[in-house]
A and B are shown apart, each in its own frame.
Chain A
């Protein structure tokens, strides 16, 4: 290797080591003293090590060009003397050209391959943290309601959330430390709660209020009282026993929520008390009211008929009501489950939508139809999932040229498919639809004037296929590979959108190694022409300071080149811009090589 290469590599190695050390110290500072150095980027605990690694590599890669130029300046200004060069300007030029080409190839590998890859990994880790955080927030919000205020739907939602969290972070339990909750523990508690809650909820007699000391006496005392009340069937104290049994259960679960072990024997006693009291009340009620009994069988028959004739929504609510009345009826329970499965493809349940939208999605999408009359469609949140595209807080507004509202309606949730947006949203527990609400309408602009029972689908003038473009969570261009940039850009163009962003990134990234090569030539000329002829002591100052200045210049040049390429693309188009850049590069390269040769000649003469 030539002395030029050796000395450049030595200085470059020193600068990279110093920069890496500084970055590591900064990372350490962020970890130990976040108030002083700023907080570390947010990563999940199991991703923290990988995240720190990616962050470190990404930062080093970003600094590489500045460090290379600084090393070249220092080498050629202070380290290299004309006597160190090979004899003959052509020999020297060849040696330098080899160095410039090798440096450009290394930079190209960094800019074209390594940087997008690390940036994409960092974005993935940030998204994982964000997604997990939002799901945990939603879970903890429901949990904070407490057992007394939580409904069956809340428990279902918690179960759904904890299952999704478990899928996202299967190894969460293996990491200790600053976790807000232990997924495994929460799941175990929930599983125990879910079945038991269903059991007690269905056997709780409504309308019985506590009047005594139920909340202060011990659980054991409560159950003893209930058992003695049920011991003599002639006393008619089943209602009281039911209340005591349910209260004992709730207090047991409260203790379990606090982390106390669940006493299975006491729980079994509570179950037995509640089951026996409820059975007696049910038998007595039906025996006393034959009409109610007849009604039960009549409604069951109707629901079975609904199911048979594929009126699944009616069947679902019918069986649900019957299941509440008699949870022991296995036929009802089975058909209720079946109808729930059938209904899932037809309507949305608002409670399930609440849980679904706990994860991050695109927010505040606004579509504008400029044709007269102008229309504005706003979507509060949009999720593109494997189950379909769902939207929340839909708002439609049509107005005249004077800005007066002609039609304005909103809908809480919807599902968007190729045929349009479906707004059939029902409450999971009650047969109560949550269809769009009309805020304002005028003659000739009524919402859905020919509608039957269900709201018709709304057909936006943007197709669901375009959601990929609309999605705010689409990857940043900086994180896409070269091939993906082309494919993504083409896809966007095919939809009729402008792909300038992806074209700009493609051209600037492709042009970066060539720009680096040209800059390498010019920096050499600058350094060699201004090399130090005299002795002095303070050049070492530049080892620490010069990379800071060159980094500022390099980043500013990158920013300016993006703007320039973007502007040229907007004005001249892709082909002209690319051709112009090739010409500029060729001209700059030739100029650079000539200048380098002249400076060699000057120094040798």
Chain B
């Protein structure tokens, strides 16, 4: 029982540590790039939530297979903590002030230009941008565009010292493709949960539970008798795959449902089919976990 509680504490501790690291990184990035330009998440709290939960879960699972305590109790505690942190945090995160408008499209270089009134100007073509030289009267503007619809030039008075304020700098400091894909997937999952929390509370609870159950299902892969390093690397990769699967369920499956089912049932199905698919996958992993009993296997050291 003591180990069960300790496993829960490890989960919470890692969650807090990773979340704090994320928030710190966001804080530094806001100092360097005022206005949160270039960030995929509008809110640092939203950006930190899912990675911190997954990091905490991985660490707690790793400890659990070695010191399971009462495994059913540990499992229930971890599930409850993951589920509650996920569900209770999202409404709170939405109340926090974002670093840029939450409904604004993530700023993709050379695609959107934020205007003074908060709206976004869709830019056409590539704008060549350079740093304005200090003190010289004529400068190459980073953000001047002609708004053809309103027949006006718009330009910002942004800080030229800000990192990534020029076109070449934006390209240079761009996320790596793998990092951008990972963040986009996190954003995809978070935005579905956030919208459900606001519009369909019941659905939101089921979605959150499906996500929780699926990631807890990764316990099954600890039944593979191997060394700690193999476990960690394998579970990290499986978490990435599971995240892709959740994104597929939340974003691609509704489109398939729309295409393949009658209109009368499509609206209902497109909401619940992802939950059913995730639950089926999570249930499979859950039963395999109980059958293989990874906590009873002697781990290699």
The chain A residues found within 8 Å of chain B, CB to CB, are 73, 77-78, 362-371, 375-378, 395, 397, 399, 403, 460-462, 469-470, 472, 474, 476-478, 495-498, 500-501, 504-505, 527, 530, 532-539, 541-542, 545-546, 548-549, 551-552, 555-556, 558-559, 562-563, 566-567, 570-571
| B210-239 interface code vs A (CB 8 A; 1 in, 0 out) | 000000000000001111111001101100
Point out the residues of chain A lying under 8 angstroms from B153, CB to CB.
376, 397, 399
**How many angstroms between the C-alpha atoms of A84 and B28 in the bound complex?**
46
Q: Which of B137, B140, B162, B171 has the most CB of A within 10 A?
A: B140
The 4 A-B residue pairs with the shortest CB-CB distance, nearest first, are A461-B138, A496-B133, A368-B141, A472-B128
**How many angstroms between the C-alpha atoms of A570 and B131 in the bound complex?**
13
The answer to whether A366 and B134 touch across the interface, beta carbons within 8 angstroms, is no
Given contact pairs A461-B138, A566-B32, A469 touches B130 in the complex (Cβ within 8 A): yes
- Which B142-197 residues have a C-beta within 8 angstroms of A? 144-146, 152-153, 155, 160-164, 166-169, 171-173, 175-176, 178-179
Instruction: For residue B97, give the distance in angstroms from its CB to the closest CB of chain A.
Output: 23
Point out the residues of chain A lying under 8 angstroms from B171, CB to CB.
476
Given contact pairs A470-B128, A497-B130, A500-B169, A570 touches B234 in the complex (Cβ within 8 A): no
B161's contact among A366, A461, A541, A570, by CB below 8 Å, is which?
Answer: A570
For B227, give the chain A residue with the smallest CB separation. Answer: A532
Given contact pairs A470-B128, A545-B233, A567 touches B163 in the complex (Cβ within 8 A): yes
Point out the residues of chain B lying under 8 angstroms from A369, CB to CB.
137-139
The answer to whether B140 and A496 touch across the interface, beta carbons within 8 angstroms, is no
The answer to whether B237 and A545 touch across the interface, beta carbons within 8 angstroms, is yes
Instruction: For residue B15, give the distance in angstroms from its CB to the closest CB of chain A.
Output: 21
Q: Which of B164, B179, B225, B227 has the most CB of A within 10 A?
A: B227
Point out the residues of chain A lying under 8 angstroms from B136, CB to CB.
461, 496
For B176, give the chain A residue with the smallest CB separation. Answer: A555
For B300, give the chain A residue with the smallest CB separation. Answer: A534
The answer to whether A539 and B230 touch across the interface, beta carbons within 8 angstroms, is yes
Given contact pairs A369-B138, A536-B300, A539-B226, A549 touches B237 in the complex (Cβ within 8 A): yes
- Which B79-133 residues have a C-beta within 8 angstroms of A? 125-128, 130-133
B236's contact among A367, A470, A549, A559, by CB below 8 Å, is which?
Answer: A549
20 example contacts (A-B, Cβ-Cβ < 8 A) are as follows A73-B229, A364-B128, A365-B128, A366-B144, A368-B144, A371-B137, A461-B138, A462-B138, A530-B229, A534-B227, A536-B225, A539-B230, A542-B230, A545-B234, A551-B178, A555-B179, A559-B179, A562-B172, A563-B29, A566-B169
Point out the residues of chain A lying under 8 angstroms from B169, CB to CB.
500-501, 566
A367's contact among B141, B160, B237, by CB below 8 Å, is which?
Answer: B141
The chain B residues found within 8 Å of chain A, CB to CB, are 28-29, 31-32, 125-128, 130-141, 144-146, 152-153, 155, 160-164, 166-169, 171-173, 175-176, 178-179, 224-230, 233-234, 236-237, 300-301
For B155, give the chain A residue with the smallest CB separation. Answer: A368
B138's contact among A364, A367, A533, A551, by CB below 8 Å, is which?
Answer: A367
B135's contact among A496, A545, A549, A563, by CB below 8 Å, is which?
Answer: A496
**How many angstroms between the C-alpha atoms of A535 and B300 in the bound complex?**
8
For B143, give the chain A residue with the smallest CB separation. Answer: A366
For A73, give the chain B residue with the smallest CB separation. Answer: B229
The answer to whether B176 and A556 touch across the interface, beta carbons within 8 angstroms, is yes
For A563, give the chain B residue with the smallest CB separation. Answer: B173
Instruction: For residue A551, give the distance in angstroms from its CB to the closest CB of chain B.
Output: 8
The answer to whether A566 and B229 touch across the interface, beta carbons within 8 angstroms, is no
**How many angstroms between the C-alpha atoms of A362 and B155 in the bound complex?**
20
Point out the residues of chain B lying under 8 angstroms from A495, CB to CB.
133
For B175, give the chain A residue with the smallest CB separation. Answer: A559
The answer to whether A549 and B233 touch across the interface, beta carbons within 8 angstroms, is yes
Known interface pairs A368-B138, A530-B228; 5 further A-B residue pairs with C-beta atoms within 8 A, sorted by A's residue number? A365-B140, A368-B132, A532-B300, A536-B300, A545-B234
Instruction: For residue A525, give the distance in angstroms from its CB to the closest CB of chain B.
Output: 13
The answer to whether A366 and B140 touch across the interface, beta carbons within 8 angstroms, is yes
**How many angstroms between the C-alpha atoms of A377 and B300 in the bound complex?**
69
Point out the residues of chain B lying under 8 angstroms from A370, CB to CB.
137, 139
For A369, give the chain B residue with the smallest CB separation. Answer: B138
A563's contact among B32, B125, B127, B230, by CB below 8 Å, is which?
Answer: B32
A368's contact among B131, B139, B163, B175, by CB below 8 Å, is which?
Answer: B139
A501's contact among B172, B175, B178, B225, by CB below 8 Å, is which?
Answer: B172
**How many angstroms between the C-alpha atoms of A474 and B129 in the bound complex?**
12
The answer to whether B172 and A504 touch across the interface, beta carbons within 8 angstroms, is yes
Point out the residues of chain B lying under 8 angstroms from A541, CB to CB.
226, 230, 234
Point out the residues of chain B lying under 8 angstroms from A462, CB to CB.
138, 140
The answer to whether A538 and B127 touch across the interface, beta carbons within 8 angstroms, is no
Instruction: For residue B110, give the distance in angstroms from its CB to the closest CB of chain A.
Output: 10
The answer to whether A501 and B138 touch across the interface, beta carbons within 8 angstroms, is no
Instruction: For residue B164, give the distance in angstroms from its CB to the closest CB of chain A.
Output: 8
For A395, give the chain B residue with the smallest CB separation. Answer: B146
Point out the residues of chain A lying under 8 angstroms from B155, CB to CB.
368, 376
Given contact pairs A462-B140, A542-B230, A566-B32, A364 touches B160 in the complex (Cβ within 8 A): no
**How many angstroms between the C-alpha atoms of A501 and B47 in the bound complex?**
27
For A534, give the chain B residue with the smallest CB separation. Answer: B300
Given contact pairs A376-B144, A462-B140, A496-B133, A563 touches B226 in the complex (Cβ within 8 A): no
**How many angstroms between the C-alpha atoms of A470 and B141 in the bound complex?**
11
Q: Which of A363, A472, A504 has the most CB of B within 10 A?
A: A472
**How many angstroms between the C-alpha atoms of A501 and B168 in the bound complex?**
8
Point out the residues of chain B lying under 8 angstroms from A539, CB to CB.
226-227, 230
Given contact pairs A366-B127, A539-B226, A570 touches B32 in the complex (Cβ within 8 A): yes
For A366, give the chain B residue with the smallest CB separation. Answer: B144
Point out the residues of chain A lying under 8 angstroms from B130, CB to CB.
469-470, 497
Point out the residues of chain B lying under 8 angstroms from A497, CB to CB.
130-131, 133
The answer to whether A472 and B126 touch across the interface, beta carbons within 8 angstroms, is yes
B137's contact among A376, A395, A461, by CB below 8 Å, is which?
Answer: A461
Point out the residues of chain B lying under 8 angstroms from A73, CB to CB.
229
The answer to whether A364 and B126 touch across the interface, beta carbons within 8 angstroms, is yes
**How many angstroms between the C-alpha atoms of A494 and B178 in the bound complex?**
37
Point out the residues of chain B lying under 8 angstroms from A527, CB to CB.
229
Point out the residues of chain B lying under 8 angstroms from A567, CB to CB.
28, 31-32, 163
**How many angstroms between the C-alpha atoms of A469 and B129 in the bound complex?**
10
Instruction: For residue B227, give the distance in angstroms from its CB to the closest CB of chain A.
Output: 5
**How many angstroms between the C-alpha atoms of A199 and B238 in the bound complex?**
75
Q: Which of A364, A366, A501, A566 has the most CB of B within 10 A?
A: A366
**How many angstroms between the C-alpha atoms of A472 and B127 in the bound complex?**
9
**How many angstroms between the C-alpha atoms of A399 and B144 in the bound complex?**
14
The answer to whether B179 and A556 touch across the interface, beta carbons within 8 angstroms, is yes
For A566, give the chain B residue with the smallest CB separation. Answer: B163
Point out the residues of chain A lying under 8 angstroms from B172, CB to CB.
476-478, 501, 504-505, 562
Point out the residues of chain A lying under 8 angstroms from B173, CB to CB.
559, 562-563, 566
**How many angstroms between the C-alpha atoms of A378 and B28 in the bound complex?**
35
For A473, give the chain B residue with the smallest CB separation. Answer: B128
**How many angstroms between the C-alpha atoms of A513 and B227 in the bound complex?**
31
Point out the residues of chain B lying under 8 angstroms from A505, CB to CB.
172
**How many angstroms between the C-alpha atoms of A236 and B168 in the bound complex?**
71
